[in-house]
Amino acid sequence: MKHTNPWNNIPLEDYEKHMQHEDDVAQAQLLNALIYKYLKKYNPENILFLGISGGNGLEHMDADKVQRVCGIDINQTYLDETKKRYSNKLGQLELFNLDIGNSTQSIISADFIWAALIFEYVDLQKAFLFIENNINKSANIIITIQSNNGAGSVSQTGVESIKSVKDIFKTVSRHALEETASKFGFKLSGSEENVLPNGKSFITLEFLKG
Ligand SMILES: C[S@@+](CC[C@H](N)C(=O)[O-])C[C@H]1O[C@@H](n2cnc3c(N)ncnc32)[C@H](O)[C@@H]1O
């Protein structure tokens, strides 16, 4: 599964160009602001990033306070770049090349999980099984999903390679997400919706365990 996943065929440069496209997308900037906000709100010590990509937001970690910061991605080249960018400033950073839709490995007991735009590409149930094996008794999980509001699943930014993930993209229903989270013992504790320049929006849901 890991090697055939289309995410392994997209250069990080292309993904980041796509996410930073100002007129149509500006998604990276919004996600960066959201990470900042939720880190400030919860001041976590043991953090898990699911689908960390190039590490957007890692600059907001307080290296004097955090104990462990674990990042996971299916694409090893993204992890290599993230390491280059951040390991000097954040000695607590550990990176793992795993498929969260196909792993029950336990790497951390996280009190904060950041999962932005990844559930669109992974089976919900399997992702929560992975989370269950990597979470503290008491924890917050922040999940951002995309709501298309009638626009295409993957925005038009002129970046060709990104189109290959369309085949595995599925819109995540907020209802299904809340139901699955509840089955795994998470309570919804907050939510917000942010509309992007292209009319799509990001829905961010905060869940609490313990
Ligand atoms: C749409 S990007 C989101 C990246 C980042 N969270 C952000 O908000 O910019 C999805 C990321 O998840 C990774 N990914 C996709 N499927 C995965 C899986 N099954 N297991 C681990 N990582 C996965 C991709 O390689 C990519 O870096």
What's the length of the chain?
A: 210
Give the pLDDT score at 23.
60
| Residue 2 C-alpha from the chain's centroid | 17
CA of 63 to the centre of ligand 1 (A): 24
CA of 195 to the centre of ligand 1 (A): 21
> Which domains does the chain carry?
6-54+65-209 (3.40.50.150)
Among candidates 96, 116, 109, which has minimal Cα distance to 68?
109
CA distances (Å), origin 5, targets 46, 75, 145: 28, 9, 20
In the chain, the amino acid numbered 206 is E
Give the pLDDT score at 150.
62
Question: Which ligand 1 atom is nearest residue 51's CA?
Answer: 12
Q: pLDDT tens digits for the chain (210 residues)?
A: 566 899 999 999 998 988 887 665 688 999 999 999 999 999 999 999 999 999 999 999 999 999 999 999 999 999 999 999 999 999 999 999 999 999 999 999 999 999 999 999 999 999 999 999 999 999 999 999 999 766 665 666 667 788 888 888 999 999 999 999 999 999 999 999 999 888 889 999 999 998
- Cα(91)–Cα(63) distance, integer angstroms: 8
Give the pLDDT score at 146.
93
Question: Which ligand 1 atom is nearest residue 78's CA?
Answer: 27
What does the block give as tokens for 71?
């990042």
CA of 117 to the centre of ligand 1 (A): 7
Residue nearest to atom 27 of ligand 1 (CA): 53
* Whether the Cβ atoms of residue 18 and residue 158 lie closer than 8 Å to each other: no
Give the pLDDT score at 165.
85
Give residues with Cβ within 8 angstroms of 4, minimum separation 6.
none
Give the pLDDT score at 155.
63
Residue 7's SS3 state is helix
